[in-house]
Amino acid sequence: MTDDAANLKKTPLNGVEHELGGKMVDFGGWELPVQFSGIIEEHAAVREHVGLFDVSHMGELTVKGADALTLLQRATCNDVSKLENGRAQYNGLLYPTAGFVDDILIYQNSTNDFFIVVNASNTDKDYEWIADAAKGMDVEVRNVSADYAQLALQGREAERLLQPMTDVALAAMKYYHFGIGKVDGVPAIVSRTGYTGEDGFEIYVAPSEGPRIMRKLIDAGAKPCGLGARDTLRLEAKMALYGNDIDETTTPLEADLGWIVKVDKGDFFGRDVLQREKSEGPRRKLVGFEMIDRGIGRHGYPVVDGSEEIGVVTSGTHSPTLKKAIGLAYLPLDKSASGTEFMVLIRGKETRARVVPTPFYKRAK
Partner 1 sequence: MTPEDNRYAKSHEYVHPEAEGDLVVIGITDYAQKELGDVVFVELPQVGAELEQGDEFGNIESVKAVSELFSPVSGEVVEINEALTVKPELINTDPYGDGWMMKMRLSTPEEVDEMMTAEEYEEYVEKESAH
The conformational region for residue 136 under phi > 0 = left, psi -120 to 50 = alpha, else beta, is left
CA angle (196 as vertex; 232, 327 as ends), nearest 5: 35
φ/ψ of 18, rounded to 5, equals: -65, -45
The span from the CA of 54 to the CA of 14, in Å, is 9
Query: What residues from 268 to 297 belong to the interface with partner 1 (CB under 8 A)?
Result: 294-296
3-state secondary structure of 49: coil
Smallest distance from partner 1 to CB 34, Å: 7
What is the SS3 assignment for 73-126?
A: HHHECCCHHHCCCCEEEEEEEECCCCCEEEEEEEEEEECCEEEEEECHHHHHHH
In the bound state with partner 1, the residue whose beta carbon lies nearer, of 28 and 38, is 38
Query: What residues from 172 to 191 belong to the interface with partner 1 (CB under 8 A)?
Result: none
Contact call for residue 320 and partner 1 (CB under 8 A): yes
Selected from 146, 219, 279, 347, the binder of partner 1 by CB under 8 A is: 347
In the bound state with partner 1, the residue whose beta carbon lies nearer, of 37 and 62, is 37
Alpha carbon 274 to chain centroid distance? Answer: 22
Contact call for residue 1 and partner 1 (CB under 8 A): yes
Smallest distance from partner 1 to CB 39, Å: 4
Contact call for residue 125 and partner 1 (CB under 8 A): no
In the bound state with partner 1, the residue whose beta carbon lies nearer, of 20 and 263, is 20
Distances in Å between the Cα of 258 and the Cα atoms of 66, 176, 343 are 29, 18, 26
Task: Name 328's bridge partners.
Answer: 288, 315
Smallest distance from partner 1 to CB 38, Å: 5
* 3-state helix vs strand vs coil in the chain, percent to 5: 25, 35, 35
The size of the interface with partner 1 (CB under 8 A), counted in residues, is 18
Selected from 119, 232, 250, 314, the binder of partner 1 by CB under 8 A is: 232
Per-residue x/- mask for partner 1, residues 29 to 48, rule CB under 8 A?
Answer: -----xx--xxx--------
Query: What residues from 87 to 106 belong to the interface with partner 1 (CB under 8 A)?
Result: none
- Residues forming contacts to partner 1 in the complex (CB under 8 A) are 1-2, 34-35, 38-40, 228, 231-232, 294-296, 298, 317-318, 320, 347
